[in-house]
Amino acid sequence: MSTRRKFLKTAAVTTGAVGASALGSAHIYAQEPKKITWRLQTYAGPALAEHVIKPSIDAFNLAAKGEMEIQLYFADQLVPTGELFRAMQRGTIDAVQSDDDSIAAPVDVSVFGGYFPFATRYSLDVPVLFEKYGLRQIWEEAYGEVEGVTWLGAGAWDPCHFATVEPIRSLADLKGKRIFTFPTAGKFLSRFGVIPVTLPWEDVEVAVQTGELDGITWSGITEDYTVGWADVTKYFLTNNISGAWIGSYFANSEKWAEVPAHLQTLFKLCMDSSHYYRQHWYWGGEAQLRVEGGKLELTTIPDAEWKTVEDEAHKFWDEIAKASPRSAKVVEIFKKYNALMAKAGPPYRY
């Protein structure tokens, strides 16, 4: 026989059970971390990104086991390259792979990112300068003064050569040439009559075909072949203005702080794997394609004439050093390092 007392007792038991079940479910749910999703944009177009970043991002996504996913976007796909830093500060995108110069980073060391003329001779110079000669600490200090963006580290890419429609065999041949290049490199090359041109990365090949550009000083020969520029230019100048591009990884500071320590470590390891891959990909490609490429004729400006470009670069360094005490410190490190390498002799410097 059902009574009101029995009903209330049963209801209390049932409610308690449901409540416990609900609490248990809530407890289980709370223990399941929400997947972190990032949007990362690289400076590179799709063909180049296949080498300079995509393998490492694929590896990260696999190793993260669903805890985090990085969605990779290519040059100018979400944001124009020159606006990447501000977009990252605002949180429009979460992370960037580029050089400081191209993304207009508002720090005094940004001019040294990309191709700072004659600062490096080989790709291994870059990690040595950052890890052994103090550039890492200087970059961390500089970006520590900027709100909203965390600098995560730098690595080396390829050397900086001219790929042109007409041959370059003397400095006089540079005059009047409209060249796609990086901001600081363009500023330096303008001293020799080069007209620097800024375009979206994906428009460069067509601009050469239509005559808007006379050439490209944005990479080594490996990239010329990889991205198709070797198909629209005819000549490759073996002299370079820098032995390695200095590129970095950056993240929105709030988004980086939300990433657990083990995933931060995983991301940095994947950065290192990307740096390692590029070391052998570029080093092997630069030599092989000079010898076996077949699309570009090699030209060279004689050493005695090219030395005037190197001498001018050191004047350029001194001008940049006046911008700030920190810039002066970086220039002093470049001078000290290159002097030591020259004294060491072959194979460090010839």
pLDDT tens digit at each of 350 positions of the chain: 444 344 334 444 444 444 444 444 445 445 667 899 999 999 999 999 999 999 999 999 999 999 999 999 999 999 999 999 999 999 999 999 999 999 999 999 999 999 999 999 999 999 999 999 999 999 999 999 999 999 999 999 999 999 999 999 999 999 999 999 999 999 999 999 999 999 999 999 999 999 999 999 999 999 999 999 999 999 999 999 999 999 999 999 999 999 999 999 999 999 999 999 999 999 999 999 999 999 999 999 999 999 999 999 999 999 999 999 999 999 999 999 999 999 999 999 99
Q: What does the DSSP 8-state code read for residue 113?
A: S
Query: If you search the block for the tokens 């050089």, which residue do you land on?
Result: 99
pLDDT on residue 13? 45
What pLDDT does residue 7 have? 35
Burial 308-338 (b: 16+ CB within 10 A, else e): ebeeebeebbeebbeeeebbbebbebbeebb
Helix (H, G, I), strand (E, B) or coil at 160: strand
Rg from Cα positions in the chain: 26
Tell me the two tokens of residue 131.
């890890």
Tokens describing residue 197: 């041109």
Give the CA angle between residues 329, 123, 149 to the nearest 5°: 55
Identify the pLDDT of residue 79. Answer: 96
**Which element (helix H / strand E) includes 168?**
none
Residue 43: both structure tokens together:
């400076």
Distance CA 349, CA 342 (A): 5
Phi, psi of 110, rounded to the nearest 5 degrees:
-60, -30
- Classified as helix, coil or strand, 216 is strand
CA angle 251, 255, 256 (to 5 degrees): 60
Check if the beta carbon of residue 74 is closer than 8 Å to that of residue 39.
no
Lookup result for tokens 């580029």:
98
What is the number of alpha carbons within 13 Å of residue 198 lying toward its C-beta? 12
- Of 162, 153, 158, the residue nearest 122 (C-alpha): 158
Residue 132 CB neighbours (<10 A): 10
Give the tens place of pLDDT for each residue, 7-56.
Answer: 334 444 444 444 444 444 445 445 667 899 999 999 999 999 999 999 99
How do 297-299 and 215-219 pair as beta strands?
A: unpaired
Q: Where are the alpha helices (DSSP H) in 32-83?
A: 46-52, 54-63
Residues 119, 124, 125: CA angle, nearest 5 degrees: 25
Mark 171-182 as b/e (b = at least 16 C-beta within 10 Å). eebbeebebbbb
What is residue 348's predicted lDDT score, i.e. its pLDDT? 96
pTM over 0.75: yes
Question: How far apart (Å, rounded) are the C-alpha atoms in residues 271 and 274?
Answer: 5
Q: How far apart are CA 205 and CA 227, in angstroms?
A: 9
Q: In terms of Cα–Cα distance, which of 213, 211, 116 is closest to 160?
A: 116
Q: Pull the structure tokens for residue 29.
A: 């749910």
- Give how far the C-alpha of residue 145 lies from the chain's centroid of Cα atoms, to the nearest Å: 21
Query: Which residue matches tokens 């890492």?
Result: 136
Size (the chain), residues: 350
Q: Report helix, strand or coil for 189.
A: helix
| Residue 99 contacts residue 245 (beta carbons within 8 Å) | yes
Distance CA 66, CA 292 (A): 43
pLDDT of residue 33: 73
